[in-house]
Amino acid sequence: MQVIISYFNSAPDFHRILLLTFSFFILWNLESLINLRNNPHRLKHLKLNATFILTAAPVQLLLGIMMNFTLHWTNAHHFGIFHQYHIKSPLLLFISTFIFLDFCEYAYHVLMHKVKSLWRFHLVHHADTQLDVSTTLREHPGETAIRLLFTILWVFIGGVSLWTLIFRQFIQIVSNVIAHANFRIPEKLDKIISLLFVTPNFHHVHHHYLQPYTDKNYGDVLSIWDRSFGTFARLSKENVIFGVDTHLQECKINTFGKLLKLPLTQIKQIQTDTLKDTKVQKDFIDV
């Protein structure tokens, strides 16, 4: 365990980049093998979503400095939940920290949907009507800043140690890429795995264009929060349509510039009190 702690205490940033690249490469090709069809617009879609890496980098660099300061300050002052409880077992500390941060990510995700000013930024991610692994990269720089500021807050409150944070981020990277993959695993297997972990089947529901599904299945790595707080739903593959009902006209958001401006544009109000598709309504399961 000490070897793991030492590695994650000193793991260079490019290791996370390598992990993301490797996960992306594997899942991108797996999508092609499973779907067995050639989408001529797929590379164009990848190029558009990958452009967000350029705007994310400076935000991550700046707030990374703030994160390092927070980690050092809480450690030096023994501040935060995990410093108060003095968990001696490294394994138990990691599990406890992982669960704490995963719940915080769930809470953050709910806020991004429920607070209108935050939703405007998160909408850029949801407006993708061609969900695949590249959608993982599609994050408005405004949301990148908001997400990292929330993470810094969670680290401050928890007194989270560096190695547990980085270790969890490695797992989170792989999990998020898998969750956005444009394929589904067999339903019988999914019902077992998704009892604990977020799967593509589970997360695809969250990217369905209609309410109440857009506000279901918020989980980051663990699915237990949605089941615990009544935000869990199932939806068959045939009934999932990616996107958001307010932004289904791709021609209006088909460039990087348009997506950057999206949080500043007026969002038209659409009546979503009742589901438009009665077949989809029949399939809705809230456990």
Amino acid at 19: L
Per the CB < 8 A criterion, the answer to whether 136 and 180 are in contact is yes
Position 85 scores a pLDDT of 87
Distance CA(115)–CA(50), nearest Å, equals: 27
Position 285 scores a pLDDT of 37
Closest CA to 280 of 247, 245, 249, 246: 245
pLDDT per residue over 19-71, tens digit each? 999 999 999 888 888 875 666 678 899 999 999 999 999 999 999 999 999 99
Lowest mean pLDDT among 32-36, 117-121, 252-256, 270-274: 270-274
Give the chain as a 3 state SS string.
Answer: CHHHHHHHHHCCHHHHHHHHHHHHHHHHHHHHHHHCCCCCCHHHHHHHHHCHHHHHHHHHHHHHHHHHHHHHHHHHCCCCHHHHHCCCCHHHHHHHHHHHHHHHHHHHHHHHHHCHHHHHHHHHHHCCCCCCHHHHHCCCHHHHHHHHHHHHHHHHHHCCCHHHHHHHHHHHHHHHHHHCCCCCCCHHHHHHHCCCECCHHHHHHHCECCCCHHHCCCCCCECHHHHHHCCCEECCHHHCCECCCCCCCHHHCCCHHHHHHHHHCCCCCCCCCCCCCHHHHHHCEEC
Token look-up 């702690």 returns 5
Position 284 scores a pLDDT of 39
Residues 262, 184, 114, 64, CA torsion sign:
negative
Lowest mean pLDDT among 70-79, 145-154, 180-189, 243-252: 243-252
Query: Does the pLDDT of residue 286 top 60, yes or no?
Result: no
Strand pairing partners for 222? 197
The token pair at 159 is 């007194």
Q: How confident is the model at residue 267 (pLDDT cuts 50, 70, 90)?
A: low
The token pair at 204 is 């695809």
In angstroms, the first-to-last Cα distance of the chain is 38
Per the CB < 8 A criterion, the answer to whether 199 and 217 are in contact is no
More confident position, 41 or 94: 94
As for how many domains the chain has, the answer is 1
Residues 115, 177, 229, 108, CA torsion sign:
negative
The contacts of residue 259 (CB under 8 Å, 6+ apart) are: 48, 124, 127, 138, 140, 253
pLDDT per residue over 179-196, tens digit each? 999 999 999 999 999 999
Q: What is the pTM of this model?
A: 0.89
Amino acid at 34: I
Domain interval for residue 133: 2-286
Angle 212-225-173 (CA atoms, 0-180°, nearest 5)? 95
Question: Could you give the percent of the chain with pLDDT greater than 70?
Answer: 90
